Structure 1
Amino acid sequence: MRAIELFAGAGGLGMGISEAGFKPARIVEWDRWCCDTIRENRAAGVASVAKWPKPIEGDIRDIDFSGFEGKMELVSGGPPCQPFSLGGKHRAHDDERDMWSEAVRVVREVRPKAFVFENVKGLTRASFATYLSYIVHQLSHPEIKRRRGEDWSDHMARLERHHTSGAHRTDGLEYNVVYRVLNAADYGVPQRRERVVFVGFRNDLGIEWAFPRETHSLDALLWEQCHSGDYWDRHKVAKRHRPDLRLHRRGLSLLEAPAELPWRTVRDAIGDLPDPERDPIAAARRHNHRFQPGARSYVGHTGSPLDEPAKTLKAGVHGVPGGENMLCYPDGSVRYFTVRESARLQTFPDSYRMHGSWSECMRQLGNAVPVKLAKVVAENVARHLREAA
């Protein structure tokens, strides 16, 4: 099955989709550093990207996709999310970085069997509710284009009238669209990272679809930590070094082991890596695994505890936000995650090298989709497309 990847970033979403069995025919990304990262790993033969086409480095608004009409099973991507990010300025449709209209244009030109788009959880805030509905209506009816000079709210009204008229059921390009906020930790990613994911199937395929069920849970982790002790045994943590969990009400209230797998923690993800501060020579043998000085804890920025999934890694508006990108040891000391550790928290393989300075690499990772989360969704989409063929 063939795919087109838009707004590829550092490659997380595209890698997960490739691992699910899709073969990208075109990769588009405007950021030079992200393109350098993809080019470097492609040239190095890293699995999942080795057979990718060369990324097109440029503005998507200048690229014509009509030559792919009817030839692609999937279009995917993460339209720039700054207009909706909790760390941004919340300008939404007034922000020139809002690329949702371009994502819809590509769907209109390519007419894929399905699409997968993702964005930040902030898009689902109450203040953006009307615009979120506008996005869903555009994705559902991509041929109802916005007219020159037409305000987005007027376009929204036309889309609503078209949707309720019934005419769309027999004529034109239409997609059945669902969206949901997914917590990556619920699917085996060692990070509490919530993203809103949009999935649409072309209406003529008659596909019925729902998001994959969660496979991991906090309660399963608490059972292993508070009851069975399996978590501490697995990491060979002596009883005298284990935290006192006798006051953990949720953990102690559990009466039996949950059916799900436990949430993966920071220790699960990076516990086998050499400490970059205490053993810099061994750490230097790993790609992108160098100690970064200057970390400090302050109110609201206390780092990610070692024995929980990491907090959401963030790109930051003005440099790297230290509180979200720090490791917090059980004794309360903190340090910045290395690029390699951050890549593991985003489930990139160790062979994947990030290109650029520490802050630039962390920006790329802060904007990325966890590879594992992308793969889980894409595998489910791929299975339904095969069954409908």
Structure 2
Amino acid sequence: MTSTPPHQSVLDKPFVLDLFAGPGGLDVAGHRLGIPSLGIEWDKQACLTRYAAGLETLHADVSAVRRDSFESLPPEINVLAGGPPCQTYSVAGRGAGRQALEDVKGYIKRLMAGESDAEIDKKLMRLSDPRTALVLEPLRYAIQATRSPNRGHRPYDVIVLEQVPAVEALWERYAEVLQDTGLPDGTKYNVVVDVLKTETYGVPQTRSRAVLIARREGLGDAPSLPDPTHRAYEAKEWNRRNGGIAAAPVTQQTLYDVDAPEPRRRPTEDARLEHWTSMGDALAEPVGIKHRGRKAPFLVRSNYGSSGIPGRRGVRTDRQPATTVTGRISRFVVFEHLGHDVVCEGPRFSMNEAGMLQSFPPDYPWSGTAQAQQVGNAVPPLFGAHLLSAALGLPAPAAEAMREPWVPAAEEQRAKLRSHGCGAADGCTARCPRPV
């Protein structure tokens, strides 16, 4: 696989453990930066994509690995990263996690006080949605590292976490205990927390994420957030300057209207920042084997905020970034201008196109079932590369690197990866987690 040459970082040999690794967003970012990684992923379908992509993987439950097989993890791992499942915290979810945030903060206090894992697990079982407790796993891994004989009780040097914006308050609590209280062994970190917009890092999609970057005290300077490379997309400003296209009916005229002038840069915007990347920018040119390019102009209608009423569905043009890519990306309807004043529903986004809107390489080998859900759950690799670079003190990554061809793993390599990840070269074994 193509990678940029490795640069000197605050660590001599970074090695990432990616919790809740999904189909490989952070791992792809690491590989583009020349950084090895090991991902732990519960979902079988996402693991199939990871094996096809040639990514080192454990098909396992993150909590079970911590409890039962932590000592089997490579001791040279020095970067802990991950994006715990967000369904219970997401605005689109039922909100059980938001309601339980204060309770989870209490569990953090118990962990830092050294309360036993067994007692913590017993209390966590009282939560209405067990997934809510998974946001504690990165902290529990950080503590476990200091208790691991296989690691020589050595703490992780760097921690990088991302989640939906509703979890910012929890990351702030993480920051407080990592900086002020320290892990039970006394290890402390310098930490930054904020909510960042992915389109300001070149991702052709509006997606806000709460991020935490922690660097162990004494390891270089305190970390900083990645500097934005692109301007933020402002929906109200766009609609004001373009006559409310996003709310207009899908007609031939709305397709022509996308040729309206671009919004001018506001005086407060940094002139060095590039324009945000549009769907048209991301999908127009043929790249790799599978993507032949998508002809502009086109409109995309999502079902966000529609309550089932088509007239309320959000519409964006090819000159705007995509709305947040979720597991519903396969439902987005694309309208094209076919000439002679004909507007017609065109082909919906392929999984490779959906992945490109997440900044995955064009030929990324999406595999298994529920591919749209895999795409939607993933960390945008370009955004992940910016986070890892900032955490490790590396230069900002080049967006072009994400569009380079991705060579899928050969059958022999897939079998080897699956033997390591599942226990057998041709399928799952009893050690693999079972769907519920």
For residue 56 of structure 1, give the secondary structure of its aligned residue in structure 2: strand
Aligned-pair distance for 1:384? Answer: 6.3
For residue 353 of structure 1, give the secondary structure of its aligned residue in structure 2: coil
Residue 156 of structure 1 is matched in structure 2 by none
Cα distance change on mapping 1:254 and 1:203 into 2, 3 Å:
closer
Residue 115 of structure 1 is matched in structure 2 by 159
- Taking the aligned partners of 1:345 and 1:114, their CA distance within structure 2 comes to 28
Aligned-pair distance for 1:207? Answer: 2.5
Taking the TM superposition and a 5 Å limit, the aligned residue runs for 1:239-258 are: 241=256, 243=258, 245=260, 250-251=263-264, 258=271
Residue 101 of structure 1 is matched in structure 2 by 136
Q: TM-score, normalization: structure 1?
A: 0.68
Aligned-pair distance for 1:35? Answer: 0.3
Q: Are the equivalent residues in 1 in contact too, given 2:40–2:59 (CA < 8 A)?
A: yes
Q: Is 1:19 aligned with 2:32?
A: yes
Q: Is 1:381 aligned with 2:385?
A: no
Deviations 1:346-389, CA, capped at 9 Å, x for gaps: 111122111134xx11101111111111112212222369xxxx
Aligned-pair distance for 1:101? Answer: 1.8
- Taking the aligned partners of 1:244 and 1:83, their CA distance within structure 2 comes to 40
Deviations 1:172-218, CA, capped at 9 Å, x for gaps: 12222211111111111111111111111112325222112111115
* Alignment-mate amino acid for residue 381 of structure 2: V
For residue 4 of structure 1, give the secondary structure of its aligned residue in structure 2: strand
Residue 379 of structure 2 is matched in structure 1 by 369
Give the counterpart of 1:57 among 56, 59, 64: 59
- Taking the aligned partners of 1:261 and 1:68, their CA distance within structure 2 comes to 41
Q: TM-score, normalization: structure 2?
A: 0.61
Q: Are the equivalent residues in 1 in contact too, given 2:224–2:391 (CA < 8 A)?
A: no
Q: Is 1:338 aligned with 2:345?
A: no
For residue 131 of structure 2, give the secondary structure of its aligned residue in structure 1: coil
Cα distance change on mapping 1:244 and 1:31 into 2, 3 Å:
closer
Residue 158 of structure 1 is matched in structure 2 by none
Residue 318 of structure 2 is matched in structure 1 by 306
Aligned-pair distance for 1:314? Answer: 1.1
Cα distance change on mapping 1:23 and 1:193 into 2, 3 Å:
same
Give the counterpart of 1:207 among 218, 221, 233: 221
Aligned-pair distance for 1:39? Answer: 0.7
- Taking the aligned partners of 1:88 and 1:4, their CA distance within structure 2 comes to 27
Residue 45 of structure 1 is matched in structure 2 by none
Taking the TM superposition and a 5 Å limit, the aligned residue runs for 1:1-389 are: 1-24=14-37, 26-42=38-54, 49=55, 53=56, 55-63=57-65, 64-66=69-71, 71-92=76-97, 93=100, 94=127, 95-98=129-132, 99-110=134-145, 111-124=155-168, 129=169, 131-137=170-176, 139-140=178-179, 143-144=183-184, 172-205=186-219, 207-218=221-232, 241=256, 243=258, 245=260, 250-251=263-264, 258-273=271-286, 286=290, 298-315=310-327, 320=328, 325-327=332-334, 329=336, 336-357=348-369, 360-383=370-393
- Taking the aligned partners of 1:10 and 1:349, their CA distance within structure 2 comes to 13
- Taking the aligned partners of 2:344 and 2:196, their CA distance within structure 1 comes to 30
* Alignment-mate amino acid for residue 348 of structure 1: F
Q: Are the equivalent residues in 1 in contact too, given 2:285–2:292 (CA < 8 A)?
A: no
Q: Are the equivalent residues in 2 in contact too, given 1:301–1:322 (CA < 8 A)?
A: no
Q: Are the equivalent residues in 2 in contact too, given 1:71–1:112 (CA < 8 A)?
A: no
- Taking the aligned partners of 2:178 and 2:391, their CA distance within structure 1 comes to 17
Aligned-pair distance for 1:122? Answer: 3.0
- Taking the aligned partners of 2:273 and 2:182, their CA distance within structure 1 comes to 39
Aligned-pair distance for 1:260? Answer: 1.3
Aligned-pair distance for 1:60? Answer: 1.4
Deviations 1:106-139, CA, capped at 9 Å, x for gaps: 1122321101111112324xxxx4x454444455
For residue 393 of structure 2, give the secondary structure of its aligned residue in structure 1: helix
Residue 277 of structure 1 is matched in structure 2 by none
Cα distance change on mapping 1:201 and 1:132 into 2, 3 Å:
closer
- Taking the aligned partners of 1:69 and 1:209, their CA distance within structure 2 comes to 25
- Taking the aligned partners of 1:82 and 1:337, their CA distance within structure 2 comes to 24
Cα distance change on mapping 1:255 and 1:122 into 2, 3 Å:
closer
Q: Are the equivalent residues in 1 in contact too, given 2:29–2:382 (CA < 8 A)?
A: yes
* Alignment-mate amino acid for residue 96 of structure 1: P
Q: Are the equivalent residues in 2 in contact too, given 1:343–1:349 (CA < 8 A)?
A: yes
- Taking the aligned partners of 1:15 and 1:204, their CA distance within structure 2 comes to 29
Which 4+ residue blocks in structure 1 deviate beyond 6 angstroms? 252-257, 287-290, 294-297
Aligned-pair distance for 1:18? Answer: 2.7
Cα distance change on mapping 1:120 and 1:326 into 2, 3 Å:
farther
Q: Are the equivalent residues in 1 in contact too, given 2:196–2:211 (CA < 8 A)?
A: yes
- Taking the aligned partners of 1:376 and 1:256, their CA distance within structure 2 comes to 20
- Taking the aligned partners of 1:123 and 1:135, their CA distance within structure 2 comes to 11
For residue 161 of structure 2, give the secondary structure of its aligned residue in structure 1: strand
- Taking the aligned partners of 1:122 and 1:327, their CA distance within structure 2 comes to 30
- Most deviating of 58-67 and 255-264: 255-264
Residue 148 of structure 1 is matched in structure 2 by none
List alignment gaps of at least 5 residues for structure 1: 43-48, 145-170, 227-239, 275-282
